[in-house]
Structure 1
Amino acid sequence: MKKKVVSILLCAAMGMTALAGCGNSSGSGSAASEPAAAVQEESRESTEEATQAGESQESAAAENTAVDGGGETLNVMCHSSWRTDEANAVFDYVAEKCNVKFEFEEVPEGGSGNELIFAKMQSGEVPDILWWQGAKTSATEIGEDLFMELSGDWTKDYNANILESPNQTYNGRLICAPFGDVTVFGMCYNKQVFADNNIQIPQTWDEFLAACETLKAAGVTPMYISGTTDNEWTLQIIPIDARLKQESMVPGSIEALNSHKKLWADMEYMQVTFERMKEMKDKGYIQDTFLSDSYADAQEALLTGTAAMYPQATWIYAELTKLAESEEELDNIGFFPIPATDAADSIAYTETPTGFVIPVSGKKADLAAQIVGELVSKEAMTEYYKLHQGIPAVNGVEVELSSIPADVSALMEAGKTNTLPNTLYSTPSMASDVQAMLAGDKTPKDVLAGYDTDWDTYAKEAGNPDWGY
């Protein structure tokens, strides 16, 4: 079953109550006379024709005022896996529309790719466009002043809660143009495996453990983990989601962290989350080979049903569409929030897209900023969603949803997703420390101590007085 989504309101996507439909209401309780109805219908048709004409004129005007790149070539640096068919379709569309060429410099996934990006930026070998992790991460891990502040007509097609989010704006400066979907973190699952074992979607952590025990007894890997080198980034899904649950259970937690009134080591639900991840490993609820298994292996296991669940974000759907052998196999994969201790806290973490940042020292920075505006325009993103299912960050795009995107849309409408207040700094040690914890080389307390060390490092570099610097 598919569900049509038209111009999804991001207020719903961010966990707020969906708005009611805006149907006509006379308020008088009596039917309109036939002549009046005819006049209303004629007026409605005239209004629609005028609207369509206006939209046509706007579209034509947009085409006429498209940026002319003069045949210039722009270098784009990104992780190799981000070059999907739908993304390439956008670059092709803009290349033809704006008379530019794109040259891609692809870097590996995970820490090794990030280190290469850092080295390039520090050496002055900057790309024209960096397609990476968003505003906060770019600012804190590379340098806020190294990126241009963005603006343009394209911003009119995005709601303020997108443009003002930490992925787009840092210290009041819009430095990252959003590209793609609103992302939701949670648990992907094989619906048929659940049905075969009479398992309902768990609403609490105890129900989740009971489901895992049933699956293990049936010879199915309850939860797949992909922890091999350069895939350790996948281990961050559960801890990132846990930040939302920490804030939900103890409101003000993030503010306390940002002001250094509390340490990460004081965040009780974060501690519980790492203990639970270790418990999953110790009880045999994840596969023994997790340190040699990859993101691609996880997708295969999920589709074939050798694993029942895989903690991941909604971007996995694009990968599954390529791997699934049939529409039925793809539709068999669903999505639910990672369960918390109590059902009321079992909500899913939501964030806005990452996207494009422009290094100020780039030789073609001004042109690159204009072209980025074209890449994230409503027209370009329409090309994107012709080949992709997801929850658009941009307004005014129609998408047909099924499988994971349909489940996520339903969660949003039910108020079972929410965003998180901005965390002041990043935690680059997280992925490798969680990997080490699952391997038995670190404890949950060690992982949180790594968070605090990361934040202290950033605070020292920033001269943050809350840390005594």
Structure 2
Amino acid sequence: MKKRAMILCALMLFVATVFTGCSNSKNSGGSSGSSESGVSTGGNATDSGTEQSASVSKESKFTIRAGAWFIDERAHQVAFKKAVEDGYRKLYPNATIQWDITLGATYFDKLKAQFASDTAPDVTFYQSLDFAKAGNLMDLSNEPWVSRMTDAAMKDPTLSYEGKLYGAPGSGNVGGGIWYNQDLFNKLGIQVPKTVQEFLDACEKIKTAGKTPIALGFKDLWTANMFLMSWLQSYSFPNDADYGKKLYDGTVKFDDAVIQKVYQNVEAMKSKGYFNKNALSIDWPQSAQLFASGDAAMIVQGPWMPSSNKENIEKGGYDSFQIGFFPFMDEKGNQSLVLNSGTGLGINAKTKLVQESKDLVNLMLSPEIMGPWLEGEGGLPMLKDVDVKGTDPVIDTIKQYLGGGLTLPYYLSAFMSASASNAMVDVLTKVVSGVKFDAADLKAAQDAMDKDKATVVLPQT
């Protein structure tokens, strides 16, 4: 299911509040921007798939649409919208930004339909290169902000397709890792584990103390995918840089011993009672409550956890604690983290407001707007001149891991079809439910990969 696949592959990201907008020019042959001043904003498509718009006066009255699935009513999101609106008003005093926001994965289904009917927003955040592959997004390779992108952003598989750049980077997200209650670890005398055995020993000590070692919220399947792919990351790439390509080529199969080992670890943890019993019936916010309340010592989530946990503690009236972080590992202590934006900011290839859309994107990427937004998101900058003032000391810990281990811009799932990734998650949830792991169950993932291999857009390696 497309909706499911979108959430499973992206890290992260994730909840939003909602406003939807309809195109003001559905019958004009393909754009979403509308002019209300009598000034033409249309043009003919060039060979590159972009459009040339007629000059719009700075005083013209028009509406430009911006789409996203994550901009909600949290303070930093509200401040982001206001800063964008205020900044754009200085460029175009009579322009209106219409925010086209829809909750979660539903947004991607809607966006796909909008592109098909020429009603998509002028500017939109996105997660899948399918939109670039389909010709929906404008080539932004020559935009002035490209020179500001970090090396990690330039390698981000969400942004580039066939040598062209179709999106600007959003928040720099550390792929899933293990967040832990540092105060509880200190109380129990637990050191940050570096190997799988040390990790399991820590879980046992936590369980003995009457706490749940790890809170899972696998009702939201993207959290299951994050858990699985994060652990596979540290088992695969540190030992074989070409592991993903081999999985794609078929020289490594989905029932490979490396992949089986992760499932066997999960089976062992389940059998020892290291997960919450309702792991499959609660969603990620509920699992985050278990963590914030102190009932669970660890949780596997993305970079939003420090701010989310602080908010949950305040709202729930729980005892405050310092949050810590460490990556998954293998038996030898190898670890690998993912750092990418996971989110592109693109422009509709058929917009009638070409320059106006480019100006809006450039504004959103300005240090004055991007910096504060990233602080609220708990994200790292993907633009060289954007400064993020991390207020939680765990951010320094994350940076140390990023600098001290193997950091890649993609998960192992980037080399799989969405259907294969989904099939692997199905096996994971089966094991978490208490069913004994059977390597033969991974045949469904291999079959899905063989069937849908053509849908895979390989990342730059």
1:69-468 mapped onto 2 (5 Å cutoff)? 70-80=60-70, 84-99=74-89, 100-110=95-105, 114-133=108-127, 137-139=128-130, 143-150=133-140, 151-228=142-219, 231-241=220-230, 242-266=232-256, 268-325=257-314, 332-343=322-333, 345-364=334-353, 367-385=356-374, 387=376, 389-396=378-385, 397-413=387-403, 415-419=404-408, 423-428=414-419, 429=422, 430-431=424-425, 434-439=428-433, 443=437, 445=439, 448-460=442-454
| Unaligned residue ranges in structure 2 (runs of 5+) | 1-56, 90-94
SS in 1 for 2:255: helix
Contact kept? 1:226, 1:234, Cα under 8 Å: yes
- How many Å separate the matches in 1 of 2:457 and 2:344? 28
The answer on whether the counterparts of 1:433 and 1:442 sit within 8 Å (CA) in structure 2 is no
Counterpart of 1:201 in structure 2: which amino acid? V
Instruction: Report the AA paired with residue 215 of structure 1.
Output: I
Tell me which amino acid in the other structure corresponds to 1:336: F
Q: Deviations over 1:216-256 (max 9, x none)?
A: 1211010110012xx22111222222134301123321222
Query: For residues 170 and 359 of structure 1, do their structure 2 counterparts lie closer, same or farther at Cα, with a shift above 3 Å needed?
Result: same
Whether the 8 Å contact between 2:218 and 2:280 is mirrored in structure 1 is yes
Measured at CA, do residues 446 and 352 of structure 1 come closer, stay the same or move farther in structure 2, by a change above 3 Å? farther
- What is the rounded CA distance, in whole Å, between the counterparts of 2:455 and 2:241 in structure 1? 28
Distance 1:313 1:68, change over 3 A: farther
Residues 216, 285 of structure 1: 8 Å contact kept: yes
Tell me the distance in 2 between the aligned counterparts of 1:447 and 1:121.
Answer: 37
CA positional deviation for 1:402: 1.9
Change in CA separation of 1:71 and 1:245 when aligned onto 2, cut-off 3 Å: farther
SS in structure 1 of the partner of residue 237 of structure 2: helix
Structure 1 counterpart SS, 2:235: helix
Asked if the contact 1:227/1:291 (under 8 Å) is kept, the reply is yes
Structure 2 Cα separation of the partners of residues 121 and 431 of structure 1: 30
RMSD across aligned C-alpha pairs, in angstroms?
3.3
Match of 2:85, as an amino acid? A
Q: Which moved more, 1:377-386 or 1:424-433?
A: 424-433
Q: Decide whether aligned partners of structure 1 residues 262 and 347 sit closer, same or farther in structure 2, where only a CA change above 3 A counts.
A: closer
For each residue in 1:114-145, what CA deviation from the matched residue of structure 2 results, as whole angstroms up to 9, or x when unmatched? 44444444454423233232xxx332x78442
Rg larger in 1 or in 2? 1
Superposition deviation, residue 348 in structure 1: 2.9
Give per-residue Cα distances to partners, 1:49-68, cap 9 Å, x unaligned.
xxxxxxxxxxxxxxxxxx95
- 171 and 302 in structure 1: CA distance in 2 versus 1, 3 angstrom threshold: same
Alpha carbons 1:358, 1:369 under 8 Å: kept: yes
Deviations 1:72-98 (A, max 9, x none): 333333324666433443332222222
Task: Give the 3 Å change call, closer, same or farther, for CA 356–188 of structure 1 in structure 2.
Answer: same
Structure with a larger share of its residues in helix: 1
What count of residue pairs does the alignment treat as equivalent? 388
Provide the secondary structure at the position in 2 that maps to 1:356.
Answer: strand
1:441–1:240: structure 2 CA closer, same or farther, 3 Å change rule? same
What letter is aligned with 1:263? K
| Residue 201 of structure 1, CA deviation | 0.9
Runs of 4+ in 1 over 6 A off after TM superposition: 326-330
User: Residues 148, 426 of structure 1: CA spacing in aligned structure 2 closer, same or farther, 3 A cutoff?
Assistant: farther
% identical aligned pairs: 20
Q: Which whole-Å deviations, capped at 9, do the CAs of 1:298-325 have from their partners, x for residues lacking one?
A: 2222222100000112132332343232
SS of the equivalent of 1:361 reads coil
Q: Are the equivalent residues in 2 in contact too, given 1:390–1:399 (CA < 8 A)? A: no
Deviation at 1:375, TM superposition (A): 1.0
Report which structure shows greater RCO (CA 8 Å, sep ≥6): 1
Amino acid corresponding to residue 232 of structure 1 in structure 2: L
CA distance in 1: counterparts of 2:389 and 2:118, whole angstroms = 41
Aligned match of 2:51: none
Q: Which residue of 1 aligns with 2:27?
A: none
Q: CA deviation at 1:360?
A: 1.9
Quote the Cα distance in structure 2 between the aligned partners of 1:84 and 1:385: 13
CA distance 1:71–1:258, shift in 2 (3 Å): farther
Who is 1:48 aligned against?
none
The TM-score normalised by the length of structure 1 is: 0.72
Question: Deviations 1:335-364 (Å, cap 9, x if unpaired)?
Answer: 011132112x03433334423123323454
Alpha-carbon contact 2:158-2:342 (below 8 Å) kept: yes
Q: CA deviation at 1:441?
A: 7.0
C-alpha deviation, 1:174, in angstroms: 0.7
> How many angstroms does 1:285 deviate by?
0.7
Equivalent residues in 2 for 1:6-17 (5 A)? none
The equivalent residue for 1:34 is: none
| Matching residue's letter, 1:101 | T
The secondary structure found in structure 2 opposite 1:166 is: coil
